[in-house]
């Protein structure tokens, strides 16, 4: 079994403006920097044999502020947020009521949530080949939802409806367990 401790990146200026960031190279806002420092005070990242994060600046900045450096951190583009395509930097309200249409169909000039699920599955398959039994992961909303789908057996609809960003049930971190050496057989058809 591998224990995966998921941490969301800190708040960005686009988050504060309720804009869809997707693959934008944006860093943390002042609030996000404070959140990242506080995350490092809640969790001692040196207790994790491996730390992985998205290669986008808001994730790497969060890890650097929480850990004190990026020396032990492995970045991976498979941990990126969903690519919102033409919706990037536009108000999140544009998709709030019809996001489910993008589970299987890609955002215009972007990708689908199922594409993210496949990326995360590939990441988990590679993780299952390593010897680490406890890892930290810093990433975004869509990768966390994919973990809910792949490791907790939720549908995308359930994962989104129960997401802490919608319910207000924030934690400093979430724990997932991967009991298998990968997840290929768990992918939705």
pLDDT tens digits, one per residue of 75-118: 999 999 999 999 999 999 999 888 899 999 999 999 999 999 99
- The model carries a pTM of 0.92
**pLDDT, tens digit (0-9, with 9 covering 90-100), for 55-71:** 999 999 999 999 987 78
pLDDT value at residue 166: 77
Please choose, from the candidates 93, 91, 89, the residue with its C-alpha nearest in 3D space to the C-alpha of residue 109: 89
Q: Which domains does the chain have, with CATH numbers?
A: 2-183 (3.40.50.1240)
**pLDDT, tens digit (0-9, with 9 covering 90-100), for 161-172:** 998 887 777 777
State the chain's mean pLDDT as an integer. Answer: 91
How far apart (Å, rounded) are the C-alpha atoms in residues 16 and 36? 16
Which long-range contacts does 181-185 make (Cβ < 8 Å, 24+ apart)? 181/125, 181/128, 181/129, 182/121, 182/124, 182/125, 182/128, 182/129, 183/120, 183/121, 183/124, 183/125, 183/128, 183/150, 183/151, 184/121, 184/125
Is 33:116 a contact under the CB 8 Å cutoff?
A: no
What's the average model confidence in pLDDT over 21-45? 94
What's the average model confidence in pLDDT over 141-161? 95
């Amino acid at each position: 079994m591998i224990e995966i401790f998921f941490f969301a990146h800190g708040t960005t200026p686009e988050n504060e403006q309720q804009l869809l960031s997707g693959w934008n190279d944006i860093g943390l806002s002042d609030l996000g920097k404070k959140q990242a420092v506080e995350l490092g005070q809640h969790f001692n990242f040196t207790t994790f044999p491996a730390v992985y994060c998205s290669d986008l600046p808001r994730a790497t900045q969060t890890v650097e502020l929480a850990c004190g450096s990026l020396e032990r951190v492995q970045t991976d583009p498979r941990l990126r947020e969903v690519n919102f395509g033409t919706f990037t930097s536009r108000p999140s309200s544009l998709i709030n009521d019809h996001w489910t249409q993008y589970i299987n169909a890609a955002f215009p000039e972007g990708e689908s949530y199922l594409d993210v699920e496949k990326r995360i599955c590939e990441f988990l398959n590679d993780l299952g080949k390593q010897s680490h039994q406890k890892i930290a992961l810093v990433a975004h909303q869509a990768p966390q939802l994919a973990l809910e789908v792949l490791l907790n057996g939720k549908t995308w609809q359930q994962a989104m409806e129960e997401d802490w960003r919608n319910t207000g049930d924030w934690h400093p971190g979430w724990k997932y367990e991967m009991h298998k050496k990968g997840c290929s057989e768990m992918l939705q058809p």
